[in-house]
Amino acid sequence: MVSLAVHREEAGDRRGAEDLYLQAYAHGNTRALVHLVLCREADGDSQGVESLARRAADHGDTRAMSRLAAIRRVFKELWQYGLDPDGTPTPRWWSDS
């Protein structure tokens, strides 16, 4: 099922791929969660990434957690001061002078 989902994703059917990954996970394939983490990462869904990565780690798959750590490093570099409610990077609000 994961292989079919990968093919769906490569063909541009992300929604169909996510559905298949979820079905694979429901049948006990925790590797599917790692693929879902990558899908959610591509969509910019940081909450979904974290939730799925933690779920995968709960099942003993640490690859998703290492991916989450890498994503957080990138987010910290890109959005050092966080994001405003409209999704734009928050500028530094103090000066060194």
pLDDT given for residue 97 in this prediction? 61
pLDDT digits 0-9 by tens, 69-92 = 666 665 565 556 666 777 677 777
Report the C-alpha gap between 22 and 86 in whole angstroms.
30
34 CB-side CA count, 13 A: 15
Structure confidence by residue, pLDDT tens digits, 2-59: 999 999 999 999 899 999 999 998 998 888 888 888 888 788 787 787 788 778 777 7
Residue 20: the pLDDT is: 94
Q: What pLDDT band is residue 64 in, cutting at 50, 70 and 90?
A: low
Contact call for residues 61 and 33 (beta carbons, < 8 A): yes
Q: 21 Cβ partners below 8 Å, 6+ apart?
A: 2, 5, 32, 33, 35, 36, 39
Tell me what pLDDT residue 75 has.
58
Tokens representing residue 27 in the block:
């049948």
